[in-house]
Amino acid sequence: MSRKVFVSAKDVAERAGVSRSAVSRTFTPGASVADETRKRVVEAAEALGYHVNHLARGLMRNESGLVCLIVSEIDTPYRANLIRELSRQLQNVSKIAMLINTDRADKNVDDALRLAISYRADASIVLSGMPDKSITDLCVKSGQRLVLINRDEQREGALMINLNDRDAARRAFIAFLRAGCRSMAFANSDAGTPSLVAREQGFCEAAREHGVEVVIERFGPTRYQSGVTLAQRLLTREKRPDAIFCANDLLACGVMDTARHQFKLSVPDDLCVLGFDDIEQSSWSSYHLTTFAQPVEKIAQKAVSWLAQPSLTDDHSCKLTAELIWRGSVRGG
C-alpha cells in the first residue's frame, strides 16, 4: 500500500520556484505575500493537487479544527436532527465534526473523550451519557472546550445547555386538565436520563399540587416499541387513563398507534396524548401529535458560538425553553 503520495508544500515551492514559507503564507489568510508570488504558488499548487496538511497545521497552531460529537442512538429522529444542525453550523465556523458513537455502553463516553483529547479536538459536545468528572476535568485542563447538552449535571468549565423540562411538564399537566382529563398517566422509558427524569418529576409535581393522582409506567429504551408496551400496560389497567404524557415523541407514537389500532380508542376523544421533542413524524397526519419542540437550531447555535469564541465568558450555563406545539392529540388548545 503506497501511501506517501500526498503532495507537500515543498513540492509546490520547488515547482513555483519560491521558498516553502512563501507557499505557507499563500495559504494563510491575512499573510503578506506579493500578488505575483501568490499567483505562481496557486498555479503550482493546482497543477500538483496540493492541499494544506491540516494535521501538521494543527500541530503547529495547537488548533486542530476538529470538534468531537459524542452521541449514542444516532438514528433516533431528534438526535439525527441535532447532529445535522451541529455539523452544519460547525462547518460555518470552519470546524469539522468527528462523530463518536457510544451505543455500546455509557463507559464509552469516557473513552470517547479520551479519543477527543488524542485527536486534540478543539472541543467536545456530549449528547449522550455522562462523562466522569475526572475526565471532564482533564479536558478542561487540556484547554479543550466542553459542551454538555441536556446532561443536567454540573461540570466545572463546561458549557451546559439545558431545557426547562420541568416547566414544560407542568404545562403538559395543565393542558390535560383543561382538556377535561382526570385520569392521567406518565409513560417513560427506563433510560433514566436527566431530561426524562425531569419531565416525569415536573408532571407528577404539578399533579400533586392539584391533588390529582398520576400513574407512572416505565419500560425499555426510549423508542417506539417501548411506547407500544407502555400503552398495553396502561390501557389494560382497571381504571383506564384518559391522558398520557409521554417522555418523548417516539414513545408517544407507539402509544398512539397502540391505543388506536389495538384498543380501538380515538385520540383525542377517548385519550389525550402529549409528547416531547417535536420530531418530524409528530407532524405526519397519522399522528398530529401535540408536543414540546426542542429548539434544535438554537441549541446548536449556543453550542457552536460558545466553542468558537476566542475567550471564554463567565456564564457557562444556558437554559432554553421548549415551546408547546398544538396539534390534534389533545382536546382544546
Partner DNA sequence: TTGTAAGCGTTATCAC
Partner DNA sequence: GTGATAACGCTTACAA
Asked if 164 touches DNA (CB under 7 A), the answer is no
The candidate with the shortest Cα–Cα distance to 151, out of 141, 161, 136, 142, is: 161
Of 54 and 84, the one with the shorter C-beta distance to DNA is 54
Q: How far is the CB of 146 from DNA (least distance, A)?
A: 20
Q: How far is the CB of 298 from a second copy (least distance, A)?
A: 16
Which residue's C-alpha cell is 382544546?
A: 332
Considering only residues 39 to 68 of the shown chain, the ones binding DNA according to CB under 7 A are: 50-53, 56-57, 59-62
Considering only residues 22 to 41 of the shown chain, the ones binding DNA according to CB under 7 A are: 22-25, 27-28, 32-34, 36-38
Of 40 and 331, the one with the shorter C-beta distance to DNA is 40
CA angle 186, 249, 274 (to 5 degrees): 50
Asked if 297 touches a second copy (CB under 8 A), the answer is no
Q: How far apart are CA 290 and CA 278, in angstroms?
A: 8
Q: How far apart are CA 327 and CA 333, in angstroms?
A: 8
Q: How far is the CB of 25 from a second copy (least distance, A)?
A: 17
Enter the C-alpha cell of residue 152: 443536567
Among 10, 17, 31, 51, binds a second copy (CB under 8 A): 51
Farthest CA pair distance, the chain:
87
Among 11, 19, 37, 98, binds a second copy (CB under 8 A): 98
Q: How far from chain centre, in Å, is Cα 293?
A: 13
Asked if 17 touches a second copy (CB under 8 A), the answer is no
Residues 6 or more apart in contact with residue 24 via CB below 8 angstroms: 9, 31
Query: Which ranges of 119-219 would DSSP assign to H, the alpha helix?
Result: 133-141, 165-178, 194-209
DSSP lists the bridge partners of residue 161 as 149, 318
Chosen from a second copy, DNA, none, partner binding at 142 (C-beta under 5 to 8 Å by type): a second copy
Of 50 and 78, the one with the shorter C-beta distance to DNA is 50
Of 88 and 133, the one with the shorter C-beta distance to a second copy is 88
Q: How far is the CB of 110 from DNA (least distance, A)?
A: 19
CA distances from 26 to 48, 51, 231, 294, 321 (A): 15, 12, 64, 44, 46
Among 173, 203, 287, 292, binds a second copy (CB under 8 A): 287
76: left (phi over 0), alpha (psi -120 to 50) or beta: beta
- Which residues would be at the binding site for a second copy (CB under 8 A)? 1-7, 49, 51-56, 58-59, 62-64, 66, 69, 73-77, 79-81, 83-84, 87-88, 91, 96-101, 103, 114-115, 117-120, 138, 141-143, 224, 228, 253-254, 257-258, 260-262, 280-281, 284-287, 310-312
